[in-house]
Structure 1
Amino acid sequence: MKLKLTWLLTLFMAFVMQFSFAQEKMVTGTVTTESDGLPLPGASVIVKGTSKGAQTDFDGKYTIGVNSGDVLVISYVGMEPVEVTIGASNVYDVVLKEGNTLDEVVVVGYSTTTKESFTGTAAVVKTENIEAKTFSNVSQALRGEAAGVNVIQTTGQPGSSATIRIRGFGSVNGNRSPLYVVDGVPYGGQINAINQNDIKSLVILKDAAATSIYGSRGANGVVLITTNKGDKTKSYINVDLKTSISSFDLPMYDVIESPEEYAEISWDAIRTNAALNGQANPAQYASDNLFSATGGINPYYNLWNADGNQLIDPATGRFNSGISRKYTPENWGDYAFRTGYRHEANISMSGGNEKTTYSTSLGYLNDEGTGINSDFRRYTGRINVDHQVTDWLKVGANATYSASRTTQNGQSSDTGSIFLMANASPRIYSIFLRDENGNRIEDPIFGGYQFDYGDSQYTNGLGFENSRRFSTATNGIADATLNLTRSYDNSLFGNVYFNIDLAKGLTLENRYGTQRENFDYSDRDNPYYGAAASPAIYGRLYKQISTRTNDNFLTLLRYTTSFGSSNDHSLEVFGAHEATKYEFSRMYAYKSRAILPNTLDLDQYTTTIGKPGSYSQSWTLESYFGQLNYDFQDKYFLTGSIRRDGSSRFINDKWGTFWSVGAGWVMSKEDFMSSLGAVDYFKLKASYGVIGDQGNRLRFGWQIFGIGETDEYSFTPDTERANPDLTWETSKIAQVGFESSWFNNTLDVDVDYYIKNTDNLFFNQTLPGSSGFISTFINDGQLRNSGLEFNINANILKPENNGDFSLSLGINGEMLNNEITEMPIDQITGETKIFDDRGGSIFAISKGKSVYDFFTREWAGVDPATGSGLWNLYYDDVDGNGIYDASTDVAIANMVLYKAENDNANINKTTTSVYAQATQKYVGKSSIPKVRGAFRVNLGYKNFSLSTQFSYSIGGYAYDSNYRWLMGNGRVGSDNWSTDIRDRWQQPGDITNIPRLSDDYSADAQFDATSTRFLTKADYLSLNNLQLGYTFDESKLEDIGISRLNVYVSGDNLLLFSRRDGFNPATSESGNSDIYRYSPMTTYSVGLKVQF
């Protein structure tokens, strides 16, 4: 029975095919331009509602098989499309006139559309803007390109990915990152595997109408990347060469550079400490103990030709004259950083004919970082082939291979970091070991000089050991030079498809996409110096091998048609099934005692550290979805979509339903708008939808046990209890907006306002001790992101009207509001939580506050009489006299909790010099700016072009932990100081905001503790990119076989203006600084683009 049914279906399909094409005839025509009447090669000729099409040849001519009644759509980028209905004639000549970007094809979810007909919000990033920037990761090139898209360059390490947030912060503890889709396939690999020269188009989807078709994966926006395809009419060879140099040219923190000044400030700190401890003569005590084996700085690091007690005049606190240095310590930054060289070469070939098109490319990139021994090297290859097998069958395939190597030496987030060393090392310390005469000690193993680890392993001729308080037993420069942290990544990504035109307007599309990635990570410590140099260790090697696979299957049935007396109605509807499977596995081992210490092979190490291990994880997602797009008279547009997702990450509630509706109205085509001559185009749009998110864990609902063991027992420890009832975070997104063009397409203004309410948030909640676990994840609480986005572009000067001059300006921005609207249930009390300190972070959450509102103690300045730091202490003024009395009034430790329990509290404040007594509270400051965005200026004159892009942020604060580190009040010799330390309190009556400096006096140790003292305005203006180019006249290139030649120079990360030199709020999601962070590089490039 099944065999008979199969044969019947086959015969039926054959009958349908035969009937569909029985009436076909061949028609021809010529496509010309209205402006000059010249033929237009490369114009697209498509039978509407099918994938069948052709392109015009060099003479603008085309030939295509059609049926009577078919509609041909003839289009070309930058021209208004024309539709022609096939009748009795066999010749159809078409004239295209210049249009605008409204009719350009835009890739959206599982379909293509035009800006005019799209009811959602899709930001199209121009490829020339991406190509103008010099980055090794396309995600970093997105900075400033779209309103509401915050691109955070968290590190300057070559090849690293940027953190991207679209329209705020989509979760508290869950996923906040967008979905990447490459050539229609969800992409889960390293973004740095994508060569940005291979990108044809890049579109960012933001609202529900745009992203809901991706269901549970589109809640935080979608980035669509389409790679280059071939051309039916022309063959090209493109060569792109670029060479660059990189350096740290952005401002750095101003620190004490002079060893003499550092010694004077250290002396003052010791003197202050002696006075606080009751020393009879604090000044003399400080001079005697500035360099001391029992206090002060270790005498080994006395770099002057005098004893330590002879350096500072006790009467003045100044360095005695006539004292010379035995040596000058090296500048740590000079050894930590270098000029990086970057070389990039890309070659691509594309072409084809009426049946087949192809595009191939090869790419090479070698990007040296400005941090020593940091680099990113990548080789890429890509091929893309499309073939029209018959009039009803089209097939294609593309594949991209990437092999990369990343070196990240000296980038640990601890005292071995080269960035910590360069930023915070006191300038009295040498990088290398020195003898009693100040001479550097030669290295008998590696050559050069031995590094100073400050680990008491060397004693000079005076009997002093090299024991220092700064980064004890480490040396980041040594680690970056002698050790190795390196990874290799091999990635293969591709897809195959076949599309069948079943009948007029009815197409069956099938696609399989796959990704295979292997990741090899090694971290090696040398056996001769540093942490692994002891005989018991003698070198260490940690190895980690990971594999990742991602398979995606899609079957989609699409129907398009136009109907009505003048084809006023257009309809597209499709339904689809998609299945995704993701698998990840990892093996790791750690060994010591090297046989051949320069290898990365575990077999060359004899002793296992801990236990080797491995694990694997996987998840699957099955989806059914559909969409309807309706258009009436190219004025009224309606879109609806629905998707049903089932995820293996959950147990009891695997399935979620997500949907959206969107509408657009082109008001400028209405008769009542015709009298408004200034308005060229005006469209209103609105959308609403529900989208889910499945979080960032592969097995949210499953109980995962690790294996531990002692000498006698094995056990399965676990601290987190699984929650089988866990399910989707759900976002309800509403948007209204308009798109407009004014004054003969001189001014474009687009504005969107959105509200995104997310509930069933993932919260990690503490459990009662009796449960046997510490915490569990639950769905609870609500979060709202709302905001206004704007995008304004103005073509001030057009070359056809201004003697070859052109000038265009563009600015975009977002005004974001983020708020916790409901708090979760406390799993211990069973009541709604009032407050969550997020593990002691400077940010806390409670109802009505954002995820980035600062919760800390308030700095109240410095006591002029004593120099002590002061903080605000809030108290319940029980007797109402306005004077704090500890015996009757109630000191408030946590303002939020106290107010919640005491509605009628009479709250007042005073100051305290005891940090622990100060009140923790919301301080009325947030890291979320009032407005953030970018602007661009493009200039042109004849064949010259100049483009610039700036980013800006206004409002908002950040915690400058780097500055806090440099204003520390610990023991002298432990860290360097900011030059602002010169303005510290030094004697009674001094009016300053910088407290006294003492050498580890216990009461003063909290002066640099977390408080509003180090909250800093996060306003900034940065020049992200500047490019100056020249394109040669084509007429002068024809004789040498070149069709296009462009040369250019460019710069990236050129300028930064912020509240404080060295402070860069754009390098973290919260704006907070990090002393260990690899700062963004400034890069200068020269390049050549040739097309044959």
Structure 2
Amino acid sequence: MKTKFNGFLTLLLALIVQISFAQEKTVSGTVSDSSGSLPGVSVLIKGTSKGVETDFDGKYTLKAKSGAVLVYRYLGYKTSEKTIGASSIINVTLVEGGEVLDEIVVTSLGIKRNAKELTYAATTLKSDEVTQTKSFNVATAMVGKVAGLQINTTNNGVNPSTRVVLRGNRSLLGNNEALIVIDGFPSSRDALDRISPNDITNISVLKGAGAAALYGSEATNGVVLITTKVGSGKLSVEYAGSITIENAAYLPEVQNEFGVGGFPDGTLYPLENVAWGPRYDGRLVDASETLDDGSVWQVPFSPIEDNHKNFFETGITTRHGVTVSGGDDAGSILLSLDQTNTTGIVPKDKYNRTNFRLKATRKYDKLTVGGNLSMFRSHSNVVGEGGRQGRPLYWNIINTPLHLPMEELKNWQTGEFTRNETSYFAFYENPYFIVDTQREKLDITEFNILTNVDYKFNDWLKASLNVGFTSSGQTNKREFGALDYSFELANTYARMDPYGASTADGSFNSSRFNSDFLLQFEKQVSQDFNLKAILGQNTRITSSKQIAISGGDLIIPDFYNVSTRTGDLAGSEATTNYRRVSFYTELTLGYKDYLFLNATGRNDQSSTLPKDDNSFFYYGAGMSFVASSAFPSIVSDKGLSFLKGTLSYTETGNDPGLYQTQGIFFAPDNFPYGSTAGLSQSSQVPAPGLRPEITKSIDAGIEFRMFNNRFSGELAGYKTNSIDQIIPVNISSASGATSARVNVGEVENLGIELNLMGTILRSENFSWDMGVNWSAMKSEVISLDDGVDELDLGGFADAQIIAKVGESYPQIRTTSYLKDDQGRIVVGADGDPIQDSQNQIQGKTTPDYTIGLNTTIKYKNFSLYAVADYRTGHVFYNGLVDALEFTGLSKHSATAGRQPFVFPNSSYADGSGGYIANTDRLTSGGGNAFWTAYNEVKENYVTDATTLKLREVSLSYTFGKDVLEKVGVSNLVLNFYGRNLITLRPKDNVYTDPEFNFTTGNAVGVGTQSQTAPTRQFGMGINVTF
């Protein structure tokens, strides 16, 4: 490996050395129309990718050779070309009403296609659309900007994980996330969270299986194609810097009427951790144990405003990025370095990361060689789930009474009344103790090496070899501090038992190799027909190795090393290997540049399938018809400018997970007994006859533009049926196993997507553009195995995420109340609601539809950009309310003043088979006993997940040429921005953000105490080009 790496570096250095820039001249000018100057006009050197855009005054400057042709393009205007002569000033006036620009889209395998050839839906995001508000996570920067794209985060920490799904879930138990491809290299899902946004030129989102048949089974769920920047023009240096501050936006609403105590009669117990006591009345109460000398800490028995919120700090993220780039017709080079440092809202939480990229190309006549080396390194140090109960930190925070000043609890080591020996915390740990002693540290290093070689035999035949390799290494350290006491008081209200320190170490190393060899054919076979063909071979090899060790009862405090353990050393090791060899082809036949027929085919040989039957074939076909080109008479300046229709059908395969067709063994703890080691066979029998899951997709779409292309839209509809789902079924334990994987079941998705974009106003100094995207999707489980009508996907025993035949997928099912035929909750003779003996479905956990809205307003050198989105038609389980209910802090627990009350929307049996509306039967109580029983029914915590969010706002100012000349730079932009500024929720969701989820798997719609509070960010950024 070292030899290969050194050879690659040598190649890159050779490319750098050989890049030379031809003699150029500086050309400048102004682009305008009949009403004045035009900002944002594309000015390209014909035959190259080198170019610029006009500034807010319509001015441009670039370097080019004499005799070169400049191409001026702007949506809604005729394209103009000018040849560079003796003059260095070229002013251009564009005329409205030109033909639609031939938009270029990066498609499967990184091949660029004219947008009118595409037979499927695709959306392209430009670089500035993911960098406007300086998010260092590309996934979160894409939210609300692509129809049919749903992104969820697992938490709101310093480096949150995300889940990226296009057009809903297709597989019941398999992977449903989109494939991430960077510069043609299929990458791991983590790549989207790790790449620097500053490196990105554009992102093409290829929706559905039809858009990605050539990528194989990983692309069944669509593809997110990221193209990174290349060097062009004279050598330049760009600096991008930003600082972002972050604060907790809101916490769960809590009751602030009643304080600690209450077992069972509401009596005040100052050192209790449950708020079932008397009303707050301002008297002084004990806030610590009483010391042996009689001294005690007392505080007013009054709720402190934002007491829980006061625990959180202001998070700060700084980013510094430098890019050096340049190039000409013969080659290019780009070097970028980006450093991000984050301190979170949780004290002592930190995340640092470094991104590096070196990218170069060189052209030798018919041969073009390119190399792309990138490196990612990160370090995170965050609080872990800890304490005697293994609770997350958030649980400890929201359990702390409202009258106990949170900010005065920091000194748990030596504080007279706040140290462990004397403090209030007798039933669970001080949150600051958890912050200081329970830490999880993670270091990641990842290298990506991509090389590509293109050889153009002639005008119609080209061969390409693209090879990529990723090596990723992770090490993690878990530090679990001890709780001990240096002295004991003579009398205590209660005391937690001490425990020893422990630690755990782990490593995870993985690699991915991918190679594609392509033959690309493109020829005008006659005056009317054009043929494009691709024949390719792909090899994919992945491997991983994971090792974990742990030890407890460490003998040296604060020295977390497993060698200092006193107990047994625990450990595990796991390895995986996967290989797939594929052959594929694509044919595109164009007729008169308005009708395009496309066909794809791929055959995969997968190592996860049985050895004697490891090959499967899938295919696709599509059509694109540009009606506006076929019938020019329908085009007019005041009406239709462009009209295109598409239709496609695709089948894609999804091979099984690792080792599902083979018998495997594992080493359980204490098996067969004590410290004797042994192997146990998996409880799941091998499935040698397992077949790939198959997804059949039908896509149809219409694309139109009107009013000289000032208004445009795309409407797409799709239907997918995923059959031969791979799921486990129960079998007789007499077989020595309990389950087997089989191919059964079908999931159907139906959806519609709409994109609308338009220029509302445009004048010499002002423009207002707006875009809206809307998507609706319904997913249904058509069938499972014979005699099986539901499948458990995850969650908890009393709040499960399931797939149920005949229902939308996924659904949430919880413990529930018994209800009458009018949906009223049935109460008993004691007035208390009766729990149903069966758990009931509460609703689907993915949106029925989503809306995204974006707008850009420009006035002279100012630009205002905003993004909002709306999600509705789904529900969310708020698992963190369990902690609030236990402690008596839930807002609803005080609505009746802790007195008996008539349960809302209830009825009781009339003795004759009917039900009477309840207006007089009071509950048996309104205190701890009642609300503890209420907590057993998780239906109470399933809320409407609808949200309306103002996601991003950015105000930027681009300095004019007069300022740039004074400071000696070629470009200077200053911007102020905010993220997640406003979140509107239904009144029943007083808890958290329903976009959070406890897993990146398929069991979406569950929030837990592991997620911290949602945050709001504000920041300032600067971009300077020298």
The interval holding the TM-score normalised by the smaller chain is 0.7 to 0.9
Pair 1:1064-2:993 in alignment: yes
Residues 1046 and 1090, structure 1, Cα contact 8 Å, conserved in 2: yes
Shift of residue 911 of structure 1? 12
Query: Which residue matches 1:357?
Result: 332
Cα distance change on mapping 1:776 and 1:530 into 2, 3 Å = farther
Shift of residue 140 of structure 1? 1.4
- For structure 1, the residue ranges without an aligned partner over 5 or more in a row are 1-29, 48-55, 64-71, 85-93, 272-285, 309-322, 433-438, 826-831, 863-868, 874-883, 885-909
What per-residue deviation string (whole Å, max 9, x for no partner) do you get for residues 564-598 of structure 1? Answer: 33xx4322111010101101011211123546654
Query: Which residue matches 1:810?
Result: 771
Pair 1:107-2:106 in alignment: yes
Cα distance change on mapping 1:41 and 1:812 into 2, 3 Å = closer
Q: Whole-Å Cα distance in 1 between the matches of residues 371 and 273 of structure 2?
A: 73
Pair 1:496-2:455 in alignment: no
Pair 1:561-2:523 in alignment: yes
Greater Cα offset, 210-219 or 752-761: 210-219
Query: Which residue matches 1:953?
Result: 871
Query: Which residue matches 1:586?
Result: 546
Cα distance change on mapping 1:326 and 1:574 into 2, 3 Å = closer
Q: Whole-Å Cα distance in 2 between the matches of residues 1038 and 466 of structure 1?
A: 64
Q: Which amino acid aligns with 1:420?
A: W
- For structure 2, the residue ranges without an aligned partner over 5 or more in a row are 1-26, 50-60, 83-91, 288-297, 487-494, 907-921, 998-1002
Query: Which residue matches 1:665?
Result: 625
Q: Whole-Å Cα distance in 2 between the matches of residues 1040 and 431 of structure 1?
A: 49
Residues 153 and 163, structure 2, Cα contact 8 Å, conserved in 1: yes
Cα distance change on mapping 1:307 and 1:821 into 2, 3 Å = closer
Query: Which residue matches 1:522?
Result: 477
Residues 627 and 641, structure 1, Cα contact 8 Å, conserved in 2: yes
Cα distance change on mapping 1:58 and 1:723 into 2, 3 Å = same
In the alignment, which of 383, 395, 405 is matched to residue 409 of structure 1?
Answer: 383
Residues 700 and 722, structure 1, Cα contact 8 Å, conserved in 2: yes
Helix, strand or coil: the match of 1:160? coil
Pair 1:1024-2:951 in alignment: yes
Shift of residue 1058 of structure 1? 0.1
Greater Cα offset, 1062-1071 or 192-201: 1062-1071
Query: Which residue matches 2:717?
Result: 753
Q: Which amino acid aligns with 1:123?
A: T
Query: Which residue matches 2:912?
Result: none
What per-residue deviation string (whole Å, max 9, x for no partner) do you get for residues 213-269 of structure 1? Answer: 1121111111111111011x33221110101111112x32221346xx224xx54x7
Cα distance change on mapping 1:77 and 1:654 into 2, 3 Å = farther
In the alignment, which of 832, 841, 849 is matched to residue 807 of structure 2?
Answer: 849
Query: Which residue matches 1:140?
Result: 140
Query: Which residue matches 1:205?
Result: 206
Q: Whole-Å Cα distance in 1 between the matches of residues 281 and 634 of structure 2?
A: 82
Residues 593 and 606, structure 1, Cα contact 8 Å, conserved in 2: yes
Could you tell me the percent identity over the aligned residues?
20
Q: Whole-Å Cα distance in 1 between the matches of residues 585 and 348 of structure 2?
A: 51
Shift of residue 743 of structure 1? 1.6
Residues 363 and 379, structure 1, Cα contact 8 Å, conserved in 2: yes
Q: Whole-Å Cα distance in 2 between the matches of residues 647 and 223 of structure 1?
A: 23
Q: Which amino acid aligns with 1:570?
A: N
Pair 1:741-2:719 in alignment: no
Q: Whole-Å Cα distance in 1 between the matches of residues 557 and 73 of structure 2?
A: 62
What per-residue deviation string (whole Å, max 9, x for no partner) do you get for residues 957-978 of structure 1? Answer: 2233334553x3x5xxx45222
Residues 852 and 867, structure 2, Cα contact 8 Å, conserved in 1: yes
- How many residues matched? 919
Cα distance change on mapping 1:211 and 1:252 into 2, 3 Å = same
Query: Which residue matches 2:89?
Result: none
Q: Whole-Å Cα distance in 2 between the matches of residues 478 and 442 of structure 1?
A: 9
Greater Cα offset, 398-407 or 608-617: 608-617
Cα distance change on mapping 1:411 and 1:129 into 2, 3 Å = farther
Pair 1:728-2:728 in alignment: no
Q: Whole-Å Cα distance in 1 between the matches of residues 78 and 116 of structure 2?
A: 12
Q: How does 1:533-682 map to 2 (within 5 A)?
A: 538-565=500-527, 568-594=528-554, 597-598=557-558, 601-603=561-563, 605-607=564-566, 609-652=568-611, 653-669=613-629, 670-674=631-635, 677-682=638-643
Query: Which residue matches 2:236?
Result: 236
Q: Whole-Å Cα distance in 1 between the matches of residues 203 and 418 of structure 2?
A: 48
Residues 374 and 408, structure 1, Cα contact 8 Å, conserved in 2: yes
Shift of residue 623 of structure 1? 0.9
Residues 854 and 922, structure 1, Cα contact 8 Å, conserved in 2: yes
Q: How does 1:28-67 map to 2 (within 5 A)?
A: 42-45=44-47, 58-59=63-64, 61=66
Pair 1:396-2:370 in alignment: yes
Residues 858 and 872, structure 1, Cα contact 8 Å, conserved in 2: no
In the alignment, which of 344, 353, 366 is matched to residue 378 of structure 1?
Answer: 353
Residues 619 and 648, structure 1, Cα contact 8 Å, conserved in 2: yes
Helix, strand or coil: the match of 1:797? strand
In the alignment, which of 930, 940, 949 is matched to residue 858 of structure 2?
Answer: 940
Greater Cα offset, 483-492 or 769-778: 769-778
Query: Which residue matches 1:1053?
Result: 980
Cα distance change on mapping 1:911 and 1:59 into 2, 3 Å = farther
Greater Cα offset, 492-501 or 608-617: 608-617
Cα distance change on mapping 1:1073 and 1:167 into 2, 3 Å = same
Helix, strand or coil: the match of 1:467? coil
Helix, strand or coil: the match of 1:564? coil
Query: Which residue matches 2:678?
Result: 715
Cα distance change on mapping 1:988 and 1:136 into 2, 3 Å = closer
Query: Which residue matches 1:1078?
Result: 1012
Using structure 2 for the length normalisation, give the TM-score. 0.82
Cα distance change on mapping 1:217 and 1:35 into 2, 3 Å = same
Q: Whole-Å Cα distance in 1 between the matches of residues 1005 and 552 of structure 2?
A: 40
Greater Cα offset, 630-639 or 475-484: 475-484
Helix, strand or coil: the match of 1:370? coil
Q: Whole-Å Cα distance in 2 between the matches of residues 609 and 329 of structure 1?
A: 46
Residues 43 and 75, structure 1, Cα contact 8 Å, conserved in 2: no
Shift of residue 931 of structure 1? 1.7
Q: Whole-Å Cα distance in 2 between the matches of residues 201 and 991 of structure 1?
A: 53
Using structure 1 for the length normalisation, give the TM-score. 0.77
What per-residue deviation string (whole Å, max 9, x for no partner) do you get for residues 997-1018 of structure 1? Answer: 56664x8743222354333222
What per-residue deviation string (whole Å, max 9, x for no partner) do you get for residues 391-445 of structure 1? Answer: 111101011111111122145697532222333433356769xxxxxx98965xx
Q: How does 1:761-776 map to 2 (within 5 A)?
A: 761-776=725-740
Q: Whole-Å Cα distance in 2 between the matches of residues 872 and 672 of structure 1?
A: 68
Shift of residue 303 of structure 1? 10
Shift of residue 361 of structure 1? 0.5
What per-residue deviation string (whole Å, max 9, x for no partner) do you get for residues 986-1038 of structure 1? Answer: 2466868896656664x874322235433322221011110001001124313
Cα distance change on mapping 1:602 and 1:856 into 2, 3 Å = closer
Cα distance change on mapping 1:535 and 1:180 into 2, 3 Å = same
Q: Which amino acid aligns with 1:112?
A: K
Shift of residue 1057 of structure 1? 0.4
What per-residue deviation string (whole Å, max 9, x for no partner) do you get for residues 592-637 of structure 1? Answer: 354665456545x244644333221110111110111222222111
Query: Which residue matches 2:761?
Result: 797
Q: How does 1:921-1000 map to 2 (within 5 A)?
A: 921-922=840-841, 925-963=843-881, 965-966=883-884, 968=885, 970=886, 974-978=887-891, 981-983=894-896, 986-987=899-900
What per-residue deviation string (whole Å, max 9, x for no partner) do you get for residues 658-688 of structure 1? Answer: 2111111111121341468411111111111
Cα distance change on mapping 1:836 and 1:711 into 2, 3 Å = closer
Cα distance change on mapping 1:919 and 1:586 into 2, 3 Å = closer
Query: Which residue matches 1:177?
Result: 177
Q: Whole-Å Cα distance in 2 between the matches of residues 117 and 440 of structure 1?
A: 65
Q: Whole-Å Cα distance in 1 between the matches of residues 496 and 940 of structure 2?
A: 43
Residues 274 and 888, structure 2, Cα contact 8 Å, conserved in 1: no
**Larger gyration radius, structure 1 or structure 2:** 1
Query: Which residue matches 1:685?
Result: 646
Q: Whole-Å Cα distance in 2 between the matches of residues 816 and 911 of structure 1?
A: 44
Helix, strand or coil: the match of 1:612? strand
